[in-house]
Structure 1
Amino acid sequence: MVTIGTTAVVLIALPSAAYADPGGPMVLAANSLPVVIANLQNWIMGILAAVATLFLVLAGVYWATAGGDPAQVDKAKGALKNALIGYGLAVLAPILLQVVQGIVGG
């Protein structure tokens, strides 16, 4: 019990370890705006392409399992349309990010 109390008093009285200077130059981890936008572009294109591919596969499954059911064929056509929109956005992502970069002044 005394050891715990002594340790607490020492840590409260001597908080210098929490404010220790590392001794070296401080380096920020943030990248410049063009690097951040390029990384964002790669992520957005990858995510959009993955989601579009998922919708394309779903459209194929819906169409193959429709069996002539008009509601299921319409569902497949909707999934195919969503896949095409996703691929279109993935292709346009670099252009849209260039516009954003121009707006923010990067």
Structure 2
Amino acid sequence: MTVAVLVPVLVAPAAHADPGQVLALAKDVDTVLNNIRKWIMGILAGLATVMLTVGGVRYLLAAGDPGEVEKAKTAFRSAGFGYGLAALAPLVVGILKGIVGAN
């Protein structure tokens, strides 16, 4: 199976880029960093929502079991950290902008 995948890659002709052709879609570094910020915020908020859901389901299904309640609280805590990091993503990207001089 690996050979069937590697053979077309090894015998494929090399692609040559036209020097006058621009391959980037973003106009500047600021746009790239803003897109990174949006992706970071989206991923972190999505994962935090999953953890919040898992914590809620665990808490509902715990039936008074102290171990399961503690696991649910840990999931809630993780969701809180995720939302906090998502809220801090613009600050991190602002620092990156300052480092690369995109301000």
The corresponding residue for 1:29 is 23
Shift of 1:66: 0.4
**Distance in 2, Cα, partners of 1:29 & 1:82:** 39
Are 2:79 and 1:79 aligned? Answer: no
Unpaired runs of 5+ residues, structure 1, are 1-17
Number of residue pairs aligned between Structure 1 and Structure 2: 85
**Distance in 2, Cα, partners of 1:89 & 1:51:** 11
**Distance in 1, Cα, partners of 2:101 & 2:41:** 22
TM (normalized to structure 1)? 0.74
Shift of 1:27: 3.4
The corresponding residue for 1:65 is 61
TM (normalized to structure 2)? 0.76
- Structure of greater Rg: 1
**Distance in 2, Cα, partners of 1:77 & 1:34:** 39
Q: What SS is found at the alignment partner of 1:53? A: helix
Unpaired runs of 5+ residues, structure 2, are 1-14
Shift of 1:26: 2.4
**Distance in 2, Cα, partners of 1:62 & 1:28:** 51
**Distance in 2, Cα, partners of 1:83 & 1:92:** 14
Shift of 1:64: 0.2
| Cα root mean square deviation, aligned | 1.8
Amino acid paired to 1:87:
Y
The corresponding residue for 2:35 is 39
**Distance in 1, Cα, partners of 2:31 & 2:92:** 16
Any runs of at least 4 consecutive aligned residues in structure 1 with deviations exceeding 4 A, and if so which?
none
Q: 1:91 aligns with which of 84, 87, 90?
A: 87
